[in-house]
Structure 1
Amino acid sequence: MYSEDDMILWSMINSMVLDVGRLEILAFSPENLFQVFKKSIELGINIFKEDYKKTLEVLNSLKDTPEKEKIRTLLSDFKLLKSLKKGVDLEKIIIAEKNIKMMTYFSSNYPEKLRNCKIPPYVLYYKGEDIDSEKLNFSIGIVGTRYPEGEGIYEFTEEIIKNLKAELQYNISGLAIGCDSIGHNITLNYKIKNIAILGEGLGREIYPKENNDLSERILKCGGTLLSEIPPSLSVKGIYLLQRNRLQAYLTNDLLVLETGNKGGTITTIKAAFSEKRKVYIRNISKNHSNFTIKNLSKLTFITSYSDIKKMKTPITKPVTLFSYLFP
């Protein structure tokens, strides 16, 4: 019911940003916006093409909230919508010029792992190879801080990947410096394809620029650069935070090398828990200090591949987190 142009428009609205003091926030709550989108599908109403009364039918079926009113205001601003629709043509020009591919929520090759999640992207813009949805079931997401301090992080990651290489099809991460780059490089060394999820449009320069060569290597090795952000838009902090959920949504297991008590890695972990992904965290004191005893029971700290192997092996007696850490 929604055309590709309509879906680009949805992705543009989802990426609208407001400046609040020194902060940048999304203009609309992604949860509420997707709720409107989903309800419009259920009612068979294209809110960009139907009479405004039909649009109100969609909105009136939702609970009254401030966010609902913000969306109502947007959809009643016909001048703004007309301007946004012209913007779709600009995005299509960039898509053609930069050889960007796209799949929408309705595409047959859209990953089911995303479609079934809480806030799926309306459009996936990508470069490189098509993503094999079945192979996503044999994936890992290696993430962490941009400035790791723990010693032996490279050796730890390589030992894990060396032992998992036979079953791994993808590493999924965010192309950031630090832990993301370590994961990308090691998995590429073991001939595992990579999906790098970006916090900017694919028509812009790679961010961070230090990883431009790494992005080229990912493509050369049969991988994919992926973004839900329309191609014309440059990187923003809020986009980087939003992309973190996609890392958790797409992967099967999440491997956290090192994290601070704030930042992108924490949002990725939360998204992984919400979608019932398995989260492994490198067993170092810095990682332990960033989690309270209240949520410790949800976490699985590991020191080597043998810890993962134990958890994947059937057991005959109850085993707790602490029995792994302190046998």
Structure 2
Amino acid sequence: MYSKEEMVILSIIYSEYIDGIFPKPKVDLNLLFQVFKISIVKNKSIFNFDNIQDLVFYVTKNILNKGNYEKRVAQFIEYFKNLDYEKMLEKAKVEIENSKKYKIEIITYFDFRYPNCLKTIKLSPFVIYVKGKFPINFDNSLAIIGARKVDNIGKKLAFEFGKFLSLNNWYNISGLAIGCDTYGHIGSINKTGAILAQGLITEIFPKENINLADKILENGGFLLSELPLTTSCKQHFFILRDRLQAALTRGVIVIETGENSGTLHTVKFALKENRKVFVLDINGEENEFIIGNIKLLNKNLKMNGNVKISKKDREKIIGIKNPIELKKYLSNSDKFDEKILIQERLF
């Protein structure tokens, strides 16, 4: 019921933020996605303003029945009331033309190539933009993650785990950040993909990994973003990006992390969505590089950073010391929960 152009419009709306000390989306993203899903069920386009109030009323009454949505609903309805559809359509057409020019695939929520694992999460991308060779499925994929500030031990371990995954025909899906991400990508260079917090035709961030991004593509990997191609990299997109790292995998491997690393956002999301979380149990004195590892593995220690992960959730975390210990979880299917990537969660 939605054209390709309209799905791109939804991704544009999703990427629009109000600038400020604490940037915020122009519309409530959870409300946007839930209204979109219900619009499919009710066969009422979100771009027909006459439908908006009915769709929003249904969602807030039957789905988002917790919390005060009154203000967000008013803002949402006002946004669509003033939406210039024709102008948005022109923007979408530019994005589509750019995708052809730069050989980037646009995969919408309705496309058969859209990964089912992304449909199981709370906030699924309307569109994913992909450059390179996109896997058919993600049953054999993990995410090597960790802090940007990493010591030589962390660099070595990230590389070794990346190499291990590649040799065992597992994908490493990470975020192209400097630090642990970088060395994980290098280790798994012929079996890796990177999820970016920017549009795919903007200059790669960080600039230190521009060459690495090229190497990933040259070796049969891919770059992916849920953001329109011309969207600049901004801080608030990183947390959204982190959820996709976990969502496209069966689990994450934390190499090294401090207490305030963005890594913990990915960990929290993975735990919430029932992905496995492996954390390296590194021998040595407590220091800034591994304090996050220590506290993730010891539920009795208080986490003092900005990301709070409950004791109950930390009980699910699996400590490992090396790739050999990881291998027993990969080769023994009953160590994993039932395959979460096969069955798609319904509305």
Q: Which amino acid aligns with 1:57?
A: D
Deviations 1:203-245 (A, max 9, x none): 1111111111101111111111100000011100111211110
Q: 1:289 deviation in Å?
A: 4.5
Q: 1:120 deviation in Å?
A: 0.9
Structure 2 counterpart of 1:61, from 58, 62, 84:
58
Q: Does the Cα contact within 8 Å between 1:281 and 1:287 map onto a contact in 2?
A: no
Counterpart in the other structure of 2:40: 41
Q: Distance in 1 between matches of 2:104 and 2:165?
A: 32
Between stretches 294-303 and 115-124, larger displacement belongs to 294-303
Alignment of 1:291-302 (within 5 A): 291=296, 293=300, 294=311, 295-302=313-320
User: Which structure 1 residue ranges, 5 or more long, are not aligned?
Assistant: 315-327
Q: Does the Cα contact within 8 Å between 2:27 and 2:75 map onto a contact in 1?
A: yes
Alignment of 1:80-159 (within 5 A): 80-133=84-137, 136-149=138-151, 151-159=152-160
Counterpart in the other structure of 1:12: 12
Aligned residue for 1:71, secondary structure, equals helix
Aligned residue for 1:62, secondary structure, equals helix
Counterpart in the other structure of 2:323: 305
Task: Confirm whether residue 184 of structure 1 aligns to residue 185 of structure 2.
Answer: yes
Percent identity over paired residues? 34
Q: 1:250 deviation in Å?
A: 0.2
Q: 1:162 deviation in Å?
A: 4.8
Aligned residue for 2:139, secondary structure, equals helix
Q: 1:312 deviation in Å?
A: 6.0
Q: 1:249 deviation in Å?
A: 0.1
Q: 1:70 deviation in Å?
A: 1.8
Q: Distance in 2 between matches of 1:225 and 1:264?
A: 20
Alignment of 1:267-278 (within 5 A): 267-278=265-276
Q: 1:170 deviation in Å?
A: 1.1
Counterpart in the other structure of 1:194: 192
Q: Does the Cα contact within 8 Å between 2:280 and 2:293 map onto a contact in 1?
A: no
Q: 1:131 deviation in Å?
A: 2.4
Aligned residue for 2:278, secondary structure, equals strand
User: Which structure 2 residue ranges, 5 or more long, are not aligned?
Assistant: 61-68, 301-310, 333-347
**Distance change >3 Å, CA 106–CA 280, structure 1 → 2:** same
Q: Distance in 1 between matches of 2:161 and 2:225?
A: 27
Q: Does the Cα contact within 8 Å between 1:187 and 1:194 map onto a contact in 2?
A: yes
**Distance change >3 Å, CA 28–CA 54, structure 1 → 2:** closer
Q: Distance in 1 between matches of 2:165 and 2:200?
A: 31
Q: Distance in 2 between matches of 1:164 and 1:205?
A: 29
TM-score by length of 1: 0.86
Q: Does the Cα contact within 8 Å between 1:140 and 1:168 map onto a contact in 2?
A: no
**Distance change >3 Å, CA 213–CA 171, structure 1 → 2:** same
Q: Distance in 2 between matches of 1:14 and 1:175?
A: 22
Task: Confirm whether residue 27 of structure 1 aligns to residue 52 of structure 2.
Answer: no
Aligned residue for 2:149, secondary structure, equals coil
Q: Distance in 2 between matches of 1:97 and 1:165?
A: 31
Deviations 1:54-102 (A, max 9, x none): 2322122122532222211111114x44432332122223222222111
Q: 1:310 deviation in Å?
A: 5.1
Q: Which amino acid aligns with 1:144?
A: G
Q: Distance in 2 between matches of 1:148 and 1:116?
A: 32
Q: Which amino acid aligns with 2:209?
A: N
TM-score by length of 2: 0.82
Q: Does the Cα contact within 8 Å between 1:24 and 1:237 map onto a contact in 2?
A: no
Q: Which amino acid aligns with 1:234?
A: S
Alignment of 1:162-177 (within 5 A): 162-177=163-178
Q: 1:164 deviation in Å?
A: 4.3
Q: Distance in 1 between matches of 2:18 and 2:295?
A: 31
Between stretches 251-260 and 92-101, larger displacement belongs to 92-101
> How many residues in Structure 1 have an aligned counterpart in Structure 2?
304
**Distance change >3 Å, CA 130–CA 160, structure 1 → 2:** closer
Q: Distance in 2 between matches of 1:35 and 1:252?
A: 25
Between stretches 91-100 and 7-16, larger displacement belongs to 91-100
Counterpart in the other structure of 1:75: 80
Q: Distance in 2 between matches of 1:260 and 1:312?
A: 27
